[in-house]
Structure 1
Amino acid sequence: MPDSPFSIPDSRLFSWPTRVYWEDTDAGGVVYHAQYLAFLERARTEWLRALGHGQELLRGSHDLVFAVRAMRIDFRKPARLDDALQVSVALRECRRASLVIDQAIERDGERLLDAEVRLAALDAGGFRPRAIPATLYQELQSLQLRSD
Structure 2
Amino acid sequence: MNDVALPFEHPLRVYWEDTDAGGVVFYANYLKFFERARTEWLRQRGFAQEALRQQERLMFIVSQTSVRYLSPARLDDWLSISVEVHEAGRVSMTLFQQARCGERLLAEGEIRIGCVNADSFKPSRIPAAMLEGLQLRGSRPADGPTPSPSAASMLQPAAPTA
Report the AA paired with residue 105 of structure 1. Answer: A
- The residue matched to 2:40 in structure 1 has which SS? helix
After TM superposition, what 4+ stretches of structure 1 lie above 2 angstroms from structure 2? 9-12, 137-140
TM superposition score normalised by structure 1:
0.86
For residues 126-148 of structure 1, what are the alpha-carbon distances to aligned partners after superposition, in whole Å with 9 as ceiling and x for unaligned?
A: 111111112112333249xxxxx
1:117 is aligned to 2:111:
yes
TM superposition score normalised by structure 2:
0.79
Conserved 8 A contact 2:92-2:114: yes
Report the AA paired with residue 38 of structure 1. Answer: K
Gaps of 5+ in 1: 1-8, 144-148
Residue 85 (structure 2) aligns with:
91
Report the AA paired with residue 65 of structure 2. Answer: M
Rounded to whole Å, the distance in 2 between the matches of 1:122 and 1:86 is: 29
Rounded to whole Å, the distance in 2 between the matches of 1:100 and 1:138 is: 16
Pairwise CA distance, 1:11? 6.6
- Highest CA radius of gyration, 1 or 2? 2
Residue 129 (structure 1) aligns with:
123
Residue 15 (structure 2) aligns with:
21
Rounded to whole Å, the distance in 2 between the matches of 1:107 and 1:56 is: 30
For residues 108-138 of structure 1, what are the alpha-carbon distances to aligned partners after superposition, in whole Å with 9 as ceiling and x for unaligned?
A: 1111111100001101111111111121123
Rounded to whole Å, the distance in 2 between the matches of 1:12 and 1:60 is: 30
**Aligned match for 1:75, one of 44, 69, 72:** 69
**Identity over the aligned pairs, expressed in percent?**
44
Rounded to whole Å, the distance in 2 between the matches of 1:38 and 1:12 is: 22
